Amino acid sequence: MTSGTTPAPQPQAPRKSFLRSATVVAVAMAIMNVAAYGFTLIGSRRLEQDQFGAITALLGLLLIGNVASLGLQATAARQLATHSGDGAATLADAILRAGRRSAAGLTVLCLVLTPVFMWLLHVDSVVAILLLAPTLGGLTLMGSQLGILQGSHRWTELAAVYTSAGIGRLVLGGGALFVHPSLDWAMAGLAIGAAVPAALGQFFLRRSTGSTREQVKDVLRETVHGTHTLLAFFALANADILFARALLDEKDSGYYAAGLIIAKACLFLPQFVIVLVFPSLANSPGDTVRLRRAIFAVAGLGACAVAGTLILPGIVVEVIGGKEKYAELGPYTWLFAVAGSAYAVLQLVVYAAIAQQEKRAALGIWLGLVVLAAAAGIILGTGTATGLTGVKVLAGMTSTCALLLSAGLATGLHRQSAEVTTN
């Protein structure tokens, strides 16, 4: 072998390492999502339609509240991915302390807002609403830990925490429904399950020490900006179940909740792509080629999911709750797959904006939410579309909103990177 040929194998090493990391994280997140949706499927079968609609609304509220966890994760991953020199353990400790402060604050806020949540979601159980607080606290702690592991490229430990999150929800939350099929027991299982990944993450990061108060404040300041953008996204992505709960009758709201099992599966299916690509986007802001490839990957997975619902609608209905309850939803399951896939693309673009520290993205998403709320109020609130027609119209409106926002935000990021390059 000559000297001119020896370098050839070297570029393959980073690619193989990336593929191994991608496989580990993808499998772990698949386990987490399958387990999490296993809990939802158990709920759809063990609970009555009105209680299933209530638990779905509570899960939507948890997803909105979980943006603090995701904001912490994004901040931690970005700061550690761009960190150079010594002091990584100190920075990790600052992130963990910021996570504990955020968890405590959100727990108190949830408890204070209990009456508001009961009124908004039409849930009569005080216990179920109160249990939102410890559940959200555990998820927030987990977010700071995930960000440290992600930004440090500790993929195996990251995968372990993701796996434990899903198993905790399935075993403890789903197990509670088998013991006693009620809203209170389901929320109790979720609260205990949320403590499992937080405990594991703390074990992995037990050697992180030495942060200063200023470092913690710096983490919290950046977290506020990232959380604001993610709050806008998750408020938009979960607003439809609130609209369905408020504007459709209980039976149709239950149909929509069942359809959302498909939509959420399609939303979280390509999440491993975001986890893997985010640190590199933070290290190379304005890398539109990398972002475009990631968008194609996410959209491709979404297209496969839509095709699956079109080819096998009967099996999909059987999985989400059974033909006895949801047979009428069968021909329209693909609409929910489209909606979830559209939101998956939008989520990727939102994380790209956070990686570039673009703070104007949140405004566009909030405007999209206002438009969607107005459209839902006019079309569903006035009775223009009712029954299953209302279910289909709401799913179609959410898809359209997500796709338009994705195109607008991606164009804005491309324009911003072009301006930076020119200057």
Cα–Cα distances (Å) from 7 to 16, 19, 29, in that order, read 16, 20, 35
Q: How far is CA 64 from the centre of its chain?
A: 9
H-only helix segments in 172-249: 175-179, 183-204, 213-247
Residues 279-330 pLDDT 10s:
888 877 666 788 888 999 999 999 999 999 999 888 888 888 777 788 888 8
Check residue 171 and report its DSSP letter. I
pLDDT for 13 equals 60
pLDDT for 132 equals 93
Residue 25, number of CB atoms within 10 A of its CB? 21
Cα–Cα distances (Å) from 306 to 86, 309, 343, 362, 402, in that order, read 47, 5, 13, 28, 16
* Distance (Å, whole) CA 384 – CA 407: 29
Q: Tell whether the torsion through CA atoms of 388, 52, 31 and 66 is positive or negative.
A: positive
pLDDT for 14 equals 62
Cβ(21)–Cβ(155) below 8 Å: yes
Dig out the tokens for 352 from the structure: 């790209």
Query: In the chain, which stretches have pLDDT less than 50?
Result: 1-10
Check residue 404 and report its DSSP letter. H
Q: Which residues contact 348 (CB under 8 A, 6 or more apart)?
A: 270, 273, 274, 291, 294, 295, 298
Residues 198-250 pLDDT 10s:
999 999 998 888 778 888 999 999 999 888 998 899 889 888 988 888 888 88
* Distance (Å, whole) CA 43 – CA 264: 15
Name the one residue in this structure whose structure tokens are 């000297």: 3
Dig out the tokens for 147 from the structure: 């960000």
321: left (phi > 0), else alpha (psi -120 to 50), else beta?
left
Q: Which residues contact 23 (CB under 8 A, 6 or more apart)?
A: none
Which pTM value belongs to this model? 0.81
* Distance (Å, whole) CA 232 – CA 64: 9
Q: Tell whether the torsion through CA atoms of 268, 236, 328 and 333 is positive or negative.
A: negative
pLDDT for 51 equals 84
Q: Which residues contact 106 (CB under 8 A, 6 or more apart)?
A: 65, 68, 133, 136, 137, 140
* Distance (Å, whole) CA 215 – CA 253: 46
* Distance (Å, whole) CA 112 – CA 108: 6
Question: Taking the C-alpha atoms of 133, 41, 298 and 25 in order, what is their torsion angle to the nearest 10 degrees?
Answer: 70
